[in-house]
Amino acid sequence: MADLSVELCGLTFRTPIMPGSGPNVADGTLLRAAAEGGAGALVTHTVSTLPAPALTPYREVRGGMLNNQLWSAHPVERWIDRDYGEAREAAHAAGIPLIINIGYTTAEITALTPKVARFADALELSLHYARTSGDLMTDPATAAYAAAHQPADYLSRSPEMLFETIRMAKRLAPLPLFVKLPILGNELVAVARACEEAGADAIVAVNAFGPCMSIDIETAEPVLTGDGMGWLSGQALKPLALRCIFDLARAVSLPIIGCGGVSRPEDAVEMLMAGASAVQVCTAALQRGPMIYGNLAAGVEAWLDQRGYASVQAIVGLGVKRWRTLVAHRQSMPVLYQEEECIGCKLCERSCHYDAIYMVDKLAEFNPERCFGCGLCVTRCPTDALLMPQVTQSGVLHPLLGTSVEAGRGGAGHIVETTGRQV
C-alpha cells in the first residue's frame, strides 16, 4: 500500500487531503467530524476581528457554488472559548496538525495572531480580493464591516503590506505560516515570491474566485443577498487552480497546498502532479459531508497502488517535470484511432467540425488527412477509441502503451518501434 503521509514544514499529515477553510469547518463540532472523517490535517474557517455579516451566503450553480460569506459568522471570542479547544483536542486524538486560518488586513492579523497561536500547529493567512469602494456592500447587515475596511487595507492590494504582515506574524507566533492566495492573474507569481522572501513557509493556492454572480430568471434578482455578488468555488475552479499551482511550482521553492475544485481522487492526483504537496477540499465537503476526506484519500491510495507508486511524494510535481520534456501541445497532430475500441456512439462525429470522422456500419471511420488535431473528439470519447499522441523530444508516443508511433497513418497509429514508457 502506498504511503499517504506528507511531511510539510515540520508537520506530519496522515494523508494529503484536508479541509479547505469554509463553512465545512464552521465550528469545533464540524472540525471534529472532519478529523473522524479521515482528514489528513484540520484547517479552521477564517476568523476575523468582527463576525461575518448575516447574509444568505450559498447557492449551488452549474459546475460549482457561489458564496458571499468570506469568513466565520462566529466572533473570535467564541472560537477561543470553545471551538479552537475542541478542534485541537480532535486533531491531537487523530494525530494530525491543526491549522488556524485568520484574515484579512494587517491590523486584524496583528490583533488575532497572539490570541489564536496557542491553539495552532500552524497559521494560515487568508488573502482575498479587495472590493473597490463602489463595490462595497452597503446594506445594513454589512455596513459596520464596510465602514471599518477600505479596499486599500486588504493585503492582496499591496505586496509591501503583505511582506511586512508576514514578518510581523512570524515574530508574534513562532509557527509554520501558510499564505492562502487568491487568483491574481499575472501578479500571482510576484506575490508568492514576496511571501517567500518575507518568510512564509508554504503557499495555499487558490482562494475562491470573484466577484461573480448568478441571477434567478424567474424573479430577475441576484440569487445571493447583500449586493448579489459572491465568490465561485467548486469544479469550475479547478482548471484555474491547476494553472496557478503549476506556475507557482516553477517559480518558488516553498511547498504548495492546492485548493479549488477537488471532488474526485483524480482531481487530487492532478493537483499533486501540478506541484502541490497536499490538497484542500471545501465545496465537495459541503455537498457530500465530512467522510469525503477519507474517501478521497482512499481513492488516491488506490490510484497510486494500481500504478506502482510507493508514496504520494512520488507524484508531487510530476506534471512539471513532464512538461519540461514535452514538445506536445505546441504543435497539431492527428489523433490515433483504435477501431476495436469504438462503440458507435457518434459523439466524435457530432463534435468534429473538420469532417475527419464519419460513421460507416455503425463504426467511426477516421481520415487523418482532414484531422486538425484539436483533441475535442478525444475528450468526448467514452472509450479509448480516440487518443491524443504524446510528442516528446524522443518522438511520438502512444499515450497508453508508451510505444513509438507514426501518427496519422490510420488504424491504431502505425507502430514503428517499441520503446519504454516515458514519464
E strand residue ranges, 147-252: 177-181, 202-205, 209-212, 215-216, 221-222, 230-233
pLDDT per residue as tens digits for the range 168-222? 999 999 999 999 998 887 889 999 999 999 999 999 999 999 889 999 999 999 9
Q: Above 60 in pLDDT, residue 151? A: no
What's the whole-number mean pLDDT along residues 313-323? Answer: 94
Confidence (pLDDT) at 139: 42
Question: Residues 6 or more apart from 163 whose CB is under 8 A from it?
Answer: 194, 195, 197, 198
C-alpha span between 398 and 391 (Å, rounded): 9
Question: Given a cut of 90, is residue 391 above it in pLDDT?
Answer: no
Give the pLDDT confidence of 247-299 residue by residue, as tens digits. Answer: 999 999 999 999 999 999 999 999 999 999 999 999 999 999 999 999 999 99
Residue 132 pLDDT: 42
What is the arithmetic mean of pLDDT over 330-345?
Answer: 83
pLDDT given for residue 84 in this prediction: 99
User: How far apart are the C-alpha atoms of 225 and 213, rounded to whole Å?
Assistant: 11
At residue 228 the predicted structure's pLDDT band, cuts being 50, 70 and 90, is confident
| pLDDT: which is higher, 326 or 197 | 197
pTM to 2 decimals?
Answer: 0.84
Mean pLDDT of the region 158-169: 87
Read off the pLDDT of each residue in 161-166 and give the average, rounded to a whole number.
89
> How confident is residue 416, by pLDDT bands cut at 50, 70 and 90?
very low
Cell of 422: 516515458
* 256-259 and 278-281 beta bridge pairing: parallel
Longest Cα separation, the chain: 73
**What average pLDDT does the segment 14-28 reach?**
97
pLDDT value, residue 332: 67
What domains can be seen in the chain, in order of their start residue? 6-324 (3.20.20.70), 326-417 (3.30.70.20)
Mean pLDDT (the chain, rounded): 86
First-to-last C-alpha distance (Å) of the chain:
22
C-alpha cell at 329: 501541445
Confidence band of 114 (pLDDT split at 50, 70, 90): very high
Q: Flag whether pLDDT at 418 surpasses 60.
A: no
Q: What is the mean pLDDT of residues 214-238?
A: 91
